[in-house]
Each structure stands twice: as structure tokens, then as C-alpha cells.
Amino acid sequence: MRLPIYQVDAFAEKLFGGNPAAICPLPQWLPDATMQSIAAENNLAETAFFVRENGDYALRWFTPAVEVDLCGHATLASAHIVFSFLEPQRRSVGFRTFKAGTLTVIRRGDRLVMDFPSRPAVPVEAPPGLLAALGGVPREILRARDHMLVYGSAAEVRALEPDFTALAKIPECWAAIATAPGDDGVDFVSRFFAPSHGVPEDPVTGSSHCTLTPYWAKRLGKTELKARQLSRRGGTLECVLNGDRVSIAGRAVLYLEGQITV
């Protein structure tokens, strides 16, 4: 069987920036094990699969190791493929997901705007080993799905050199977000680490901004925020808090179009 595959740089201002995602439109779902094997073979942070459903699409995401409940950059990349190749006349698309409900993406010029659930974090004690594995001296520790550690400056977040082996062994920590106030016109910065799920450091993470946005909106007293993820590739996100929803906008750039054989 031959299937189309695309690779898209999401939250990227230009090619080779942002976060690469593989996108596989399917005529029908493949076995879970096959989709997981394709994601492992692609060896990107996420591979997204979607099938046509009631005029929109059903969507699933896989890291090289596991299926995940929410992924921003691969949703953005999936919408880019719909708008660019499959249905260029559309201005919006809905993706039904298994655990995050229906996610809508709207095309506004060269920007794609996603509507995601807000995931506010609450203060917690750090699980054993987390501070030593991540490094630095955070001012606050909170948790939603992911642990969020708040540092004093963007420089502190840039300087982190996590021990990924140690971080992957902390069962209470699904993933870790490091964040701090931004600089150079950015409201806040972050980095994202999920080594136990096959993603040591994610280049740009949409789902983490479902937690980051409500925190920084409350702290800064504003609902419209500009964010920057400080990975080596880097990425820019425009975030808006709308009650219990978060709007996350960015750009996408096609890198690859081809076929896979399974």
C-alpha cells in the first residue's frame, strides 16, 4: 500500500525553523501498531494521521514512542496540508480528536489560528529528581498534564542543560515545561522536554501553550500574548486566552511531499 506523506515546519517563519511534523492523510485508519511504527520510522517529534469524517477530519498524533492526547504543531501542520493540497477553497477545518474534543483551525492570510482547550496549572511540590534533572532554580512549580517550572529570566531558561536520562525515569512527570518572562518584545519564553515519550526536547510545542497561556495571562494582566520557544530551531506563537479556550496562531512551511509504502 502506498500512502501520501508530507513534512511541514510548523510555527516557522521560514524553512528549517519551527517544529517539523510528518502528516499522513489516510483513506481509513491503519492498525495502531502500524501507525506507531510509521511514527518511529519518521523519528520526528510527532506524526499526525487523519481520515475524512462528516465533512471534516478525525485526527491522531504519535511520537516515535507513544500516541499522545494533544499536539499543537502537528495540528497546525495538518491544517496546512488540508488548505494547501486537499481542499484549498476552505477557510476553516475541524479535527475531531479522541481525547481533546474537536479542534478548529482557521486560515487568516498566511497565519493559521487554532482553537484549543485551556489547561491551567496548579502549584505542586516537585516530584523527586525533577529539579536535579532539569537544573536551575525555579521560582514556582505547577502542574496540569505537564509540570511547569517558572524561572526568573529568559537567560536562565536558555542555559538549562537537562539530564534527559534522569528526567525520563521520573514516573510522575509526563513532560516538563521551563518558562520565564520574555525579552525583545516577547511576553514569555519556554522550552519543553518529554524524554520518556520519545521527545527529549520538542522544538516548538503547541499543547504546552494551553498551560502557559492562562498562567502568563493572569500574571501579566493581558489576554493577548506573544511567545517564543527557545529550542535550537526556535518558534514564535501568538496566543490569546478566551475563557476556557486558548487561541494559538502561527505559520507553516512545506518541506517534503512524497509517498510511503507499508
d(CA 252, CA 78): 10
Residue 203 lies in a domain: yes
pLDDT in tens, 217-260: 999 999 999 999 999 999 999 999 999 999 999 999 999 999 99
Quick one: 234 and 254 in the same domain?
Answer: no
Quick one: 220 and 126 in the same domain?
Answer: yes
Residue 182 lies in a domain: yes
Task: Give the percent of the chain with pLDDT over 70.
Answer: 100
Q: How far is CA 152 from CA 73, 124, 145, in A?
A: 27, 18, 22
Contact in structure between 6 and 257 (CB atoms under 8 Å): yes
Quick one: 164 and 92 in the same domain?
Answer: no
Quick one: 177 and 89 in the same domain?
Answer: no
Is 90 exceeded by the pLDDT of residue 184? Answer: no
Residues spanned by the domain of 222? 122-243
Quick one: 57 and 35 in the same domain?
Answer: yes
Quick one: 138 and 238 in the same domain?
Answer: yes
Quick one: 161 and 253 in the same domain?
Answer: no
pLDDT in tens, 72-108: 999 999 999 999 999 999 999 999 999 899 999 999 9
pLDDT in tens, 156-172: 999 999 999 999 999 99
The full length of the chain comes to 262
CATH for 144: 3.10.310.10
Quick one: 239 and 253 in the same domain?
Answer: no
Residue 140 lies in a domain: yes
Residue 115 lies in a domain: no
Residue 186 lies in a domain: yes
Residue 116 lies in a domain: no
Residue 114 lies in a domain: no
How much is the mean pLDDT over the chain? 97
Quick one: 193 and 229 in the same domain?
Answer: yes
Contact in structure between 214 and 227 (CB atoms under 8 Å): no
Quick one: 141 and 191 in the same domain?
Answer: yes
Quick one: 13 and 102 in the same domain?
Answer: yes
Q: Residues with Cβ < 8 Å from 31, sequence gap 6 or more?
A: none
- Name the domain count of the chain: 2
Task: Identify whether 87 is a catalytic site residue.
Answer: no
d(CA 187, CA 200): 25
Quick one: 101 and 136 in the same domain?
Answer: no
Q: Which of the following is catalytic: 41, 46, 53, 156? A: 46
Residue 211 lies in a domain: yes
Is 90 exceeded by the pLDDT of residue 63? Answer: yes
d(CA 220, CA 147): 20
